[in-house]
A and B are shown apart, each in its own frame.
Chain A
Amino acid sequence: MIDDTTVRHVARLARLRLDDAEEQVMREELSGILEHIDAIRAMDLDGVPPTTHVIELENVLRADEPRPGLSQEDALREARAVVDGSFEVPRMD
């Protein structure tokens, strides 16, 4: 189960603005899904190591050689606001 405080905390961590109605629906839906997911919390996993990668690669390293990148124009072309070649962001509080 997941409560309103947790929903609000998680939404803030994820930077998602939810209105009250959305928050309510989210709480119910997440609780429903977690009920199913809780199955794995009951499993006996003693001594089982975690799997992060299914492939057994190691040491995939790149040579330290510069490659051509983007022009300033391409770098900025999809941006919402540009000031003198830089991306603009709103003020921080």
Chain B
Amino acid sequence: MSDLEPVIGVEIHVQLSTRTKMFCGCAPSFGDAPNTHTCPVCLAHPGVLPVVNGEAVRRALIIGLALGCEIAPRSIFHRKNYFYPDLPKAYQISQFDIPICGRGEFTAIREDGSELKVGITRAHLEEDAAKLTHGGGRRAGADGSVVDFNRGGTPLVEIVTEPDLRSAADTAIFLRQLRQTLLFLGVSDCSMEEGSMRADANVSVRPVGSQTLGVKTELKNMNSFRFLERGVEAEIARQREIIASGGHVQQETVHYEPDTGHITSLRSKEESHDYRYFPEPDLVPVAPDPAWVEQLRTEQPELPIPLRRRLVDEMGLTQEDAEVITGSPELVAYFMEAAGLADPKSCANWIRGELRAQLRELGQEPWESNVTPAHVAALVGLLAEGTVSVPAAKEVLAGVIETGDDPATVVEARGLGQMDAGDLSAIIAEIVNANPDQAQQLRDGKDKVMGFFVGQTMKRTGGRAEPQAVQALVRAAVLGE
């Protein structure tokens, strides 16, 4: 039996963070009292009509441009018909054969720096369903459900990819970097946990070298990238097993149980879906002015993937640095400001390392803290000049976080400047004299004991010594090097 390769495509629903819903003037709401953000339109009262939110169209175009999609000169809306309590009109206004954004391509970068190209089939505009809570009913017993229309009608962009992915890991990389790009565009909160970004994966396997697609299953509703990656992994394994044992994969919707790691089949509906799509007569076509599209193209911010390349190639960061720094548009702006004032690689180290570690305890992000990018640059400068040791610099940083004072001021105020070399030698000589056993061990070649001397020195100096310098001085004192 030949080797099997997985073939994966994804569908991503992105809730746009517009001020109003897709087809009415209600503000979408999450967490308010139920049914307090509705109007006759989003409750589908008799006689109401939809009107397209222009900002949602603008954001769909921005997404399409970032994904390299062809923008349709004239796209139309369709009605997708099905009955469900979270869909008050019993049809969803969506797009069908002429989506606003057509074919495109997205290039992600793996950790090893290699490119991962994923074809984009389409990106279209539609409205989100309302919130349906099962088991919340009273009159119909515990089995009943309740509906809250506060978020019903939130604008959505659905992005559909070609089946270009070949592993669960690649799928997760693609989705993470797509999310990052969307965050940079400022179109959505993209929170998997809160459901403002949702991904479904279509998974199939086929013999390596085959050009035809195997029977696919749809893995639904993963609420984190980690679960999605594990889910895809588990589904690939399940399909391989079925085929290895001579069986056939059924086309169905499946669900991944994070607790058990199992794939379960969602009970298939007795009737096959027939959505009876037809053009929405209540809406007119969207035909974006080419000049407008061009303007949106020129206004596009620098996106994380090209930026990541530039950080590595031009600024000397590692892939890992670049990935962390491009984690959010705010962090990029923060880093760029610091990197303009001091060595970029050192700035990246301090920002992604010590700064974020210290702030995490306060629940702050760098750009929300007392530490300005200029402070970071100044600290990097102090280190480079040898004014402070690395351990002292960490204390300086803590001081800046606390006070918002300039690093130099903190060094001054707390006496954290590097010790004079003569003073340091004297202290080390004292320590060596006081600990003859350990000195002997060092002479015997037991290098491990060096840690003891460094530790003792740090204790005596309050961290104001550079560990490397301390090691050199200890060697000189003990071994006469």
Instruction: Verify whether A and B have any Cβ pair under 8 Å.
Output: yes
Binding site for B on A (CB under 8 A): 9, 12-13, 15, 52-53, 55, 57-67, 69-72, 75-76, 81, 83-92
Given A13-B276, A60-B51, A62-B51 in contact, is the A87-B147 Cβ separation under 8 Å? yes
B133 at interface, CB cutoff 8 A: yes
User: A88 with B25: in contact, given A59-B287, A83-B146 (CB under 8 Å)?
Assistant: no
**Centre residue among A53, A64, A88 by max chain B CB count within 10 A:** A64
Contact present for B20 and A66 (CB under 8 Å): yes
Complex contact A64–B281 (CB within 8 A): no
Q: Is the CB of A52 within 8 A of B43?
A: no
Most A CB within 10 A of own CB, among B19, B37, B43: B43
Q: Which of B26-34, B296-304, B332-340 is near enough to bind chain A?
A: B26-34
The stretch that binds A, out of B134-142, B172-180, B349-357, is B134-142
Alpha-carbon distance between A81 and B37 when the two chains are bound, in angstroms? 19
**Restricting to B49-102, which residues have a CB under 8 Å from any CB of A?**
51-57, 74, 76, 83, 85
Given A59-B286, A67-B25; A15-B83 close (CB under 8 Å): yes
CA distance A53 to B280 in the complex (A): 10
Q: Which residue of B lies closest to A85 (CB)?
A: B34
Of B20, B74, B284, the most chain A CB neighbours within 10 A belong to: B284
Given A70-B43, A75-B149, A83-B146, is A64 in contact with B55 using a C-beta cutoff of 8 Å?
yes
Bound-state Cα–Cα, A66 to B18, Å: 10
Complex CA–CA separation, A35 to B287 (angstroms): 39
CB pair A91 B286 closer than 8 Å: no
| Contact A86 to B54, CB < 8 A, known contacts A66-B27, A72-B35 | no
A-B pairs with lowest CB-CB distance, top 6: A67-B25, A61-B54, A91-B143, A64-B55, A86-B146, A69-B39
**Contact residue among A66, A72, A76 (Cβ-Cβ distance under 8 Å from B25):** A66
Interface secondary structure of A, over-half rule: loop
- Residues of A within 8 Å of B274, CB to CB, are 13
Compute how far the CA of A57 lies from the CA of B287 in the bound complex, rounded to whole angstroms.
Answer: 10
Count: A-B pairs, CB below 8 Å: 143
What residues of B have a CB within 8 angstroms of the CB of A53 in the complex? 281, 284
Q: Flag whether B279 is at the interface (Cβ < 8 A).
A: yes
Residues of chain A lying within 8 A (CB to CB) of residue B455? none
The answer to whether B145 touches A92, judged by C-beta atoms less than 8 angstroms apart, is yes
Report B269-280 CB contacts with A as 1/0, cut-off 8 Å: 001001010010
A60-B52 CB under 8 A given contacts A53-B281, A81-B139, A83-B137: yes
Q: Which residues of A contact B140 (CB under 8 A)?
A: 81, 88-91
**Which partner residue on chain A sits nearest B26 by CB separation?**
A69
Cα A91 to Cα B132 with chains together (Å): 11
How many of chain B's residues touch chain A, expressed as a range? 35 or more
Q: Do residues B281 and A52 form an inter-chain contact, with CB atoms below 8 A?
A: yes
Measured CB to CB, the nearest residue on chain A to B43 is A75
Instruction: Return the CB mask of B249-281 against A: 1 if under 8 Å, else 0.
Output: 000000000000000000000010010100101
Q: List 28 A-B contacts (CB under 8 A).
A: A9-B271, A12-B271, A13-B276, A52-B76, A55-B284, A57-B284, A59-B284, A59-B287, A60-B51, A60-B284, A61-B52, A62-B54, A63-B54, A64-B18, A72-B33, A75-B35, A75-B43, A85-B35, A86-B34, A86-B146, A87-B35, A87-B85, A87-B149, A88-B146, A88-B147, A89-B85, A90-B140, A92-B145
Most A CB contacts (10 A, CB to CB) among B34, B133, B147 go to: B34
Q: Which residues of A contact B285 (CB under 8 A)?
A: 58-59
Smallest beta-carbon distance A12→chain B, Å: 6
Bound: A58/B52 CA distance, A? 11
Query: In the complex, what residues of A have CB within 8 A of residue B55's CB?
Result: 63-64
Expressed in whole angstroms, the Cα–Cα distance for A89 and B53 within the complex equals 30
Interface bits B12-48 vs A (CB < 8 Å: 1, else 0)? 0000001110001111000001111111101100000
Q: Are B39 and A86 in contact (CB under 8 A)?
A: no
> What distance in Å separates the Cβ of A22 from its nearest Cβ neighbour in chain B?
20
